[in-house]
């Protein structure tokens, strides 16, 4: 085996020497972006002859992968020459770049040479790593405009439904205005919870073990809860950087993370003069920027739909291209006439450009029973209309892949077919 190391100094030279000591032949050590520069015919400051010689001799490229060094042209060149690429990454952003090219699991940039030598000697194990670990962690934010459209209730039910089939789910209360998950579930709000996770993340001490320690299990549902602030006046603890770092660690902890956020989306620098001070809406904005999916909740009544349409444009401006699944909650014909579903659908389509929409019925009996028992609706009334509607929404919009349990997958397919027939 002959390896070409394309890693920036000083680690590139140390890595090359370490591989030589482990008995791996090194064809050369190059800057990380040198191959991409040669392929793009931009050889300023790059020794093109060294690059060409190294590529001619090597059968494996150890590459410090990022957006500058790992390009389609580099991958195509290695494919044509039969050169295997082993990627080294410094952070999660670089890891996502590697994943976009389908190169398998990346290794940490500062890996010990002997560990890298072992990985190079077992290519089959490296290539099979994505199939051996098929988890695809996702962070989901539940947002809605002002007026209590039911964000917290839907966040709880969404987490419980996602936990079906053996998934591990985290339920996070990041609301800095009216945190209520602990109150609704009867959990102690004096525990560490999400504020402690944010403080630990800022200090660099947050890991999977610490998250497991400070979380509170929600019975036997498979959901671990990170409770929110016990007093809204503590909102400066949830800063932008802290929330982003804590949610990034949650990706390594659980399969799905459901985040309950506050309604306001305005940036506080627009209403205060201290540009360096804390921002009360920083937690909401940081969470929305860090998630893979936003579940936007609208109250299915004239006032709730009007509020949603006014805030929806601001939500889109905040999250960019992040997917949004819109849920019309508490649907009832009383305030919208006979065709309540059609009224809501046409209004959101015409004035908000919302084409895909899911409906949750009003179910006061089940909701009241859940509040009285301080439990999720899915546990108190597992066959209630609200529970079944949330389960259908999860199966269609959030986690469409079949669950590992075949018995759970069959009724879900039936629900999907019945919903399509109804549509």
Domain boundaries, given as residue ranges, for the chain: 2-132, 138-422
pLDDT tens per residue across all 423 residues of the chain: 788 888 888 888 888 888 888 788 888 888 888 888 877 765 555 567 777 888 888 888 888 888 888 888 888 788 777 888 888 988 887 887 787 777 777 888 888 888 888 887 764 333 333 343 344 558 999 999 999 999 999 999 999 999 988 889 999 999 999 999 999 999 987 878 999 999 999 998 999 999 999 999 998 899 999 999 988 888 999 999 999 999 999 999 999 999 999 999 987 554 555 555 568 899 999 999 999 999 999 999 999 999 999 999 999 999 988 999 999 999 987 777 778 889 999 999 999 999 889 999 999 999 999 999 999 999 999 999 999 999 999 988 998 755 444 444 444 444 344 444 444
User: Do 2-132 and 138-422 come out as alike in CATH topology?
Assistant: yes
What was the pLDDT predicted at 420?
Answer: 43
Residue 368: what are its φ and ψ, rounded to 5°?
Answer: -65, -40
Cβ atoms within 10 Å of 233's Cβ, excluding its own:
8
What was the pLDDT predicted at 44?
Answer: 53
What was the pLDDT predicted at 124?
Answer: 39
What was the pLDDT predicted at 416?
Answer: 40
Q: Structure tokens of 299?
A: 């109250």
pTM > 0.85: yes or no: no
What was the pLDDT predicted at 408?
Answer: 41
Residue 207: what are its φ and ψ, rounded to 5°?
Answer: -140, -175
What's the rounded Cα separation, in Å, for the pair 297 and 301? 12
Residue 417: what are its φ and ψ, rounded to 5°?
Answer: -65, -40
- Residues 43, 46, 51: CA angle, nearest 5 degrees: 100
What was the pLDDT predicted at 137?
Answer: 52
What fold is seen in the domain 138-422? Rossmann fold (3.40.50)
What fold is seen in the domain 2-132? Rossmann fold (3.40.50)
């Amino acid at each position: 085996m002959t390896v070409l190391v394309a890693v920036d100094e000083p680690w590139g030279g140390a890595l090359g020497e370490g591989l030589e000591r482990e008995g791996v032949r090194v064809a050369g050590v190059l800057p990380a972006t040198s191959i991409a520069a040669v392929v793009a015919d931009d050889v300023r400051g790059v020794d093109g002859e060294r690059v060409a010689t190294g590529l001619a001799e090597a059968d494996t490229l150890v590459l410090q992968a990022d957006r500058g060094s790992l390009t389609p042209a580099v991958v195509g060149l290695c494919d044509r020459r039969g050169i295997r690429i082993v990627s080294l990454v410094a952070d999660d952003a670089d890891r996502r770049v590697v994943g976009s090219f389908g190169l398998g699991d990346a290794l940490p940039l500062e890996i010990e040479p002997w560990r890298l030598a072992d990985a190079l000697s077992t290519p089959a194990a490296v290539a099979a790593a994505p199939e051996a670990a098929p988890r695809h962690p996702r962070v989901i934010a539940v947002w809605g405009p002002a007026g209590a459209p039911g964000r917290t209730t839907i966040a709880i039910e969404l987490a419980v439904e996602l936990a079906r089939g053996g998934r591990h789910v985290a339920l996070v209360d990041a609301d800095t205005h009216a945190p209520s998950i602990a109150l609704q579930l009867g959990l102690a709000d004096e525990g560490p919870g999400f504020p402690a996770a944010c403080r630990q993340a800022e200090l660099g001490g947050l890991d999977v073990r610490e998250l497991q320690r400070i979380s509170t299990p929600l019975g036997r549902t498979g959901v671990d809860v990170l409770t929110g602030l016990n007093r809204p006046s503590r909102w400066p603890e949830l800063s932008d950087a802290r929330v982003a770092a804590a949610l990034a660690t949650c990706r390594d902890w659980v399969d799905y993370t459901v985040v309950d956020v506050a309604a306001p989306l305005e940036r506080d620098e627009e209403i205060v003069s201290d540009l360096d001070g804390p921002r009360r809406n920083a937690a909401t904005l940081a969470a929305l920027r860090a998630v893979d999916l936003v579940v936007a909740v609208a109250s299915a009544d004239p006032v709730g739909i009007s509020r949603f349409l006014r805030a929806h444009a601001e939500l889109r401006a905040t999250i960019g291209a992040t997917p949004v699944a819109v849920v019309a909650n508490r649907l009832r014909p009383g305030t919208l006439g006979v065709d309540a579903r059609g009224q809501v659908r046409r209004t959101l389509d015409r004035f908000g450009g919302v084409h895909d929409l899911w409906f949750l019925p009003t179910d006061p009996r089940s909701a009241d029973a859940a509040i009285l028992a301080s439990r999720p609706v899915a546990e108190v009334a597992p066959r209630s209309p609200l529970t079944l509607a949330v389960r259908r929404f999860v199966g269609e919009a959030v986690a469409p892949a079949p669950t590992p349990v075949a018995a759970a997958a069959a009724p879900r397919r039936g629900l999907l077919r019945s919903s399509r027939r109804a549509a």
